[in-house]
Structures are given as structure tokens and as C-alpha cells.
């Protein structure tokens, strides 16, 4: 059923599709319908978070879908305010109750919030929840190399993935290189830069015309060729299909470098530098 999206293997053996559905702002019945349409089209990786207040919406789509549960990869994330060990454990349980699921495929720490200095105990909670079978694969979001190194040093377990802001205006080259050297997969959030002016960029437009593709397809192909998993959010079935129809062409090195060259030091969408930004 639907289109087949290629998969990659994480460092713990779990396989995930290279494109998933972002769900920020997909809620309620409309959200369920959007997620169901994505599953019908072939999406199997669905991103959510405790703080998006849509774990129930995602769980409802899982129940209504004809796609078997074991074929789906459902993600949620631990918010900053629940990073103490005990709160993290009960929040993971609460996430499961909200979604009415027995397990999450992926559970990620949402932000390191380094000033709080509790991300290592939160990580220990994820490790223990995985041992109990509540989570299949554990990872993080927005962690800098210094935070990632501490996790492995203090617990002996490294994350399977790090979900970070990544789009042509912020290509994260040093962070991606560090992930590659340390066998951690990169997952791109806001892969289309939230449909900001990147989708009007003249140079990407020219590449798109050359390949007879849309700007979004060129950008998502760029993520794929960088080796990153991307999770574009779309409520629209037509744009959901557009976003996974990227496996029948390739960008050459010059095109890849031209897109990567759009990166600027201030290219983050909302200036959320994980060294200082905190989210609870």
C-alpha cells in the first residue's frame, strides 16, 4: 500500500524510513485525517512530542489506520520540565497513556537545556524505559557534541539519532560530520525551513526547473543525499505526496554544493542555539 520510502539502520539495529511526517500543529480530527492520509501514501515514521499536545491524535491515527502497528515508527519527546529521573519515567508512561500505545519506536530528549544540567539523568530514564520495553530506540534532539559525549561517558549508551534544525539556510556541516564520525544518525527538523523564503529562492528554483521538480522536492532530495532523515510536516495530502516523491532523480555534486552554500551563521529560523536556548 502506498509508496515505498527507503530505510536506513540506526546504531542499535532499528531501521527507519529516510522521510517521516512532522506533526507540529496537527491536532484533533483534522490532525488524525492528515496523519491517516500520510500513512495511506506510504509514510511510516511519524514524529510527535509531549509538548505538541498531539500524542493522542497520533495514537488515534495509529488505531484507525490499516497499516499494522509493527510497520510504523512512532516518535515522541520528553519535555525540558520533566528531565529529572523520576519525572522522566512517569512522563514516558504518560506519553504512552495519551497515545494509548504499548510502546514508542523512538523517544527523544527534546532539548538539552544545559543550564538545568539534568539531561544525563533524563537519558538514564530513557535507557531504563527501553530495557522495560516501553521504547524501542532512544535518541535526542538539539544536542551539541559536548552534550552527546557526556551521555556516552556517563551512561555507556550513545543515542541512535539526534534531531536537529537543518535546512539550506542552516546546513549543520560540522555537527553532521561529528554524527557521522560517531555513528549517530542525523534527523532534520524544519527541513523546509517552515516554508520560509527558502521556497522562493531563485537558485533552487533553477535547479527545480532543470529536474522538473518542485523546490520542496529539491530540498528534501538534498537532505536525503546528505544522509539525513527528514520529517517535513504537511497537512495536505497533495504536498505529503510531493514530499516523498524524490527517489526518481539525483542532484549532482555542484547542485548539492550550491544548495549547501545558502547557509549563513544566522540562518536558524528562530535563533534557537542549543548552547543557550532552553525549552520546557
Ligand X SMILES: NC(=O)c1ccc[n+]([C@@H]2O[C@H](COP(=O)([O-])OP(=O)(O)OC[C@H]3O[C@@H](n4cnc5c(N)ncnc54)[C@H](OP(=O)(O)O)[C@@H]3O)[C@@H](O)[C@H]2O)c1
Closer CB to ligand X, residue 29 or residue 66? 29
Tell me the residue number closest to ligand X, measured at CB: 22
- Report if residue 27 touches ligand X, rule: CB under 6 A: no
Least CB distance from residue 90 to ligand X, whole Å?
Answer: 21
**From CA 48, how far away is CA 178, in angstroms rounded?**
25
Closer CB to ligand X, residue 201 or residue 234? 234
Among 168, 191, 228, 244, binds ligand X (CB under 6 A): 191
Do residues 171 and 263 lie in contact, with contact meaning Cβ atoms separated by under 8 Å?
yes
Among 127, 235, 256, 258, binds ligand X (CB under 6 A): 235
- Report if residue 195 touches ligand X, rule: CB under 6 A: yes
Please give the helix or strand (H or E) that residue 203 lies within, else none: helix 202-211
Q: What is the DSSP string of 67-84?
A: S-GGG-EEEEEE-GGG-S
Contacts of 55 (CB under 8 A, 6+ apart): 48, 49, 76, 95, 98, 99
Residues classed as catalytic: 52
The beta strands (E) that lie in the chain are given as 7-9, 15-17, 45-47, 73-78, 104-109, 135-141, 161-165, 185-189, 229-230
Least CB distance from residue 269 to ligand X, whole Å?
Answer: 8
The beta strands (E) that lie in 19-66 are given as 45-47
Residues of this chain, 65-94, that bind ligand X according to CB under 6 A: none
The b-or-e profile of 163-196 (16+ CB within 10 A means b, else e) is bbbbbbbbbbeebbebbeeeebbbbbbbbbbeee
Which residue has cell 518542485?
Answer: 214
Closer CB to ligand X, residue 3 or residue 66? 3
- Report if residue 22 touches ligand X, rule: CB under 6 A: yes
Among 103, 124, 242, 277, binds ligand X (CB under 6 A): 242
- Report if residue 190 touches ligand X, rule: CB under 6 A: yes
Among 142, 160, 171, 186, binds ligand X (CB under 6 A): 142
- Report if residue 193 touches ligand X, rule: CB under 6 A: yes
Among 231, 241, 251, 262, binds ligand X (CB under 6 A): 231
Give me the residues that bind ligand X (CB under 6 A), please: 22-24, 47, 110, 141-142, 163, 189-195, 199, 216, 231-236, 239, 242-243
Amino acid at each position: 500500500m502506498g509508496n515505498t520510502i527507503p530505510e536506513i539502520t540506526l546504531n542499535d539495529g532499528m531501521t527507519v524510513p529516510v522521510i517521516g511526517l512532522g506533526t507540529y500543529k496537527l491536532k484533533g480530527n483534522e490532525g488524525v485525517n492528515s496523519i491517516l492520509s500520510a500513512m495511506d501514501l506510504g509514510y511510516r515514521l511519524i514524529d510527535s512530542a509531549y509538548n505538541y499536545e498531539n500524542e493522542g491524535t497520533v495514537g488515534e491515527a495509529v488505531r484507525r489506520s490499516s497499516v499494522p502497528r509493527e510497520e510504523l515508527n512512532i516518535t515522541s519527546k520528553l519535555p525540558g520540565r520533566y528531565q529529572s529521573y523520576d519525572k522522566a519515567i512517569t512522563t514516558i508512561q504518560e506519553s504512552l497513556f495519551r497515545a494509548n500505545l504499548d510502546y514508542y519506536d523512538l523517544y527523544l530528549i527534546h532539548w538539552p537545556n544545559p543550564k538545568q544540567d539534568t539531561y544525563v539523568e533524563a537519558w538514564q530514564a530513557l535507557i531504563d524505559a527501553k530495557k522495560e520495553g516501553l521504547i524501542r530506540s532512544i535518541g535526542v534532539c538539539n544536542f551539541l557534541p559536548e552534550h552527546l559525549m557526556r551521555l556516552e561517558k556517563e551512561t555507556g549508551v550513545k543515542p541512535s539519532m539526534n534531531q536537529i534544525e537543518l535546512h539550506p539556510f542552516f546546513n549543520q556541516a560540522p555537527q553532521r560530520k561529528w554524527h557521522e564520525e560517531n555513528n549517530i544518525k542525523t534527523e532534520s527538523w524544519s527541513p523546509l525551513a517552515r516554508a520560509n523564503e527558502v521556497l522562493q529562492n531563485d537558485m533552487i528554483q533553477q535547479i527545480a526547473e532543470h529536474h522538473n521538480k518542485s523546490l520542496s522536492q529539491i530540498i528534501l532530495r538534498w537532505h536525503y543525499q546528505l544522509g539525513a532523515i527528514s520529517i517535513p510536516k504537511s497537512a495536505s495530502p497533495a504536498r505529503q505526496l510531493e514530499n516523498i516523491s524524490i527517489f526518481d532523480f539525483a542532484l549532482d555534486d555542484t547542485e548539492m554544493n550550491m544548495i549547501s552554500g545558502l547557509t549563513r551563521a544566522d540562518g536558524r529560523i528562530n535563533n534557537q542555539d542549543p548552547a543557550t536556548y532552553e525549552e520546557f
